[in-house]
Amino acid sequence: MSHENNIVKKPWGHEYLVYENDLVALWFLHIQKEQSTSMHCHPNKTTGLMVISGNAKVSFLSNTIELGSHDKIMIRKSMFHSTKAISDNGALVFEIETPVDKHDLVRLDDKYGRAGKPYEGKTYESPKEDDCLWLEDPPEGSESVFDFMGSKIRLTSIKEIEELERIPDDINVMFLRGGITTDYDINVAGPGDIVQGGVLKKLSKVFRKMSNTTVILRIENGDC
């Protein structure tokens, strides 16, 4: 079932799908101040979080990490986690998942009474509003730029690895398609991964091969 046209209401705020292909799905989450997602895991998929604006605490069963605007974290399969907004205006977050399966969800604990329950059904959905973001792959070798929630979202089709090497060290890069591979076609940074620009430079010193179609997403300050 596609969620392309609907907003999903949550007790902590709402979320909706902003991009999808055969490998990844990217969701926008608005978590209200002092509200949090359930303590949950995804047994079969990897999740990446990138904060668009605000501050959030990502808690695991044994520790907590605080993220600010444009920070990121990668969460492996079966790792229980919960995300809480701690800034006055809440937290706006991109969540990328691979493989695509919104129902790959196990809730361990939830202050809204959803522990042990599956993903929300159709009764929690409402049509998207006009200002909801939707992203599509830009033409090969080009870039699309969107002003969104005080930030610029850059969606770029990369043709040469040198383009990745020019990304500033502190900018986080989300791979939607393609990526860096070994000479024998094993992904080093691929769909669903969020990698810092400085790390990409280190990888590119050894691995010079890229998939033919590589699409990346970056978040920058709105005045860039």
- Residue range 84-135, pLDDT digits in tens: 999 999 999 999 999 999 999 999 999 999 999 999 999 999 999 999 999 9
**Tell me, what's the pLDDT at 223?**
57
Protein fold of 6-127: Jelly Rolls (2.60.120)
Contact 164, 180 (CB under 8 A): yes
For residues 73 and 112, give the distance between their C-alpha atoms in angstroms, rounded to a whole number: 25
Of 80, 127, 129, 139, nearest to 107 by C-alpha is: 80
CA distances from 53 to 72, 90, 181 (A): 12, 9, 31
- Helix, strand or coil for residue 207? coil
* Per-domain boundaries in the chain: 6-127, 143-221
Tell me 122's DSSP state. G
For residue 18, the tally of other CB atoms under 10 A from its CB is 21
Angular region, 178: left φ>0, alpha ψ -120 to 50, beta rest: left
As averages over each run of 10 residues, the pLDDT of the chain (224 residues) reads 87 98 98 98 98 98 97 98 97 98 97 96 94 96 95 95 96 97 95 98 96 94 64
**Tell me, what's the pLDDT at 224?**
46
**Tell me, what's the pLDDT at 212?**
83
For residue 30, the tally of other CB atoms under 10 A from its CB is 21
**Tell me, what's the pLDDT at 30?**
98
